[in-house]
Amino acid sequence: MCELLGMSANVPTDICFSFSGLVKRGGETGPHKDGWGITFYEGKGCRSFKDPNPSCDSRVAQLVKEYPIKSKSVISHIRQANRGGVNLENTHPFIRELWGQNWTYAHNGQLTDYENLPLGRAHPVGQTDSELAFCWIINKLHQNYPTVPDDMLTVFKDIAGYADELRKLGVFNMLLSNGEYVMAYCTNNLHWLTRRAPFGKAQLIDEDMTVDFCTETSDSDVVTVIATRPLTSDEQWNKMQAGEFCVFHFGERVL
């Protein structure tokens, strides 16, 4: 299994605090030692930092913890390998361009009988069930919408339907983003919370670290964090239900 972390915000926000908690689970407070990755959107562009080494002692993870890259949409993943070797091509998040947009995806769980999911436009580079399922989703979207769709609502319903199909093959917890929307699908383990004014303090579970969001934010900020397991001990996290699909648009839940 793996751990997912996502963020959706209405102002460019750094994820240093949450990421600090996550990376500890990458080989120190958690067993997820088989690589990690994080993708930050800045406008339509995005950049990823990835490492097939454990996040808890990764030089690149150290940079990401300390260097406050501000973004409205973030997808991150730390890996405990089940399908596919420990190497860079199997390290999440995975990205494909669709409709002139960067689509970023990370998966927690394990699928069986996924090998025959039909492919088309997108093909996996690595050997994971996760990337193959992502390519299948991209191909389905491209089949249904050869050009950029006007109505994203029908796209979300389709994605939820594809995720339901994948859940029939095993455990499928997913984060997906096109930079504007951050989507989350739950089979068994996914939590989220939205921080907004009045902001308070929060204490990380995995590290002796507290942040006072009051000093870091302005009153109009809305920041949603999505994680496999709650990252803080003193905030109310919403546990997603099996088969539940959430869509966040710049911090606010819209579906």
Least Cβ distance, residue 245 to a second copy (angstroms): 25
Q: With respect to a second copy, which residue has the nearer C-beta, 30 or 124? A: 124
Least Cβ distance, residue 133 to a second copy (angstroms): 15
Least Cβ distance, residue 199 to a second copy (angstroms): 27
Instruction: Read off the amino acid at residue 1.
Output: M
Q: Which residues of this protein are in contact with a second copy, per CB under 8 A?
A: 42-52, 59-60, 63, 67, 87-91, 95-97, 99-102, 121-126
CA 183 to CA 226: how far, in whole Å?
Answer: 10
Q: With respect to a second copy, which residue has the nearer C-beta, 90 or 130? A: 90
Q: With respect to a second copy, which residue has the nearer C-beta, 152 or 205? A: 152
Three-point CA angle 162, 229, 105, nearest 5° = 35
Note if 2 is an active site residue.
yes
Distance of CA 140 to the CA centre of its chain: 20
Q: With respect to a second copy, which residue has the nearer C-beta, 50 or 83? A: 50
Three-point CA angle 123, 128, 130, nearest 5° = 80
Least Cβ distance, residue 125 to a second copy (angstroms): 5
Half-sphere exposure of 143 (CA within 13 A, CB side): 14
CA 120 to CA 138: how far, in whole Å?
Answer: 9
CA 216 to CA 227: how far, in whole Å?
Answer: 21
* Contact assessment for residue 94 and residue 39, using Cβ atoms and an 8 Å cutoff: no
Biggest CA-to-CA distance, the chain: 51
The set of catalytic residues is: 2
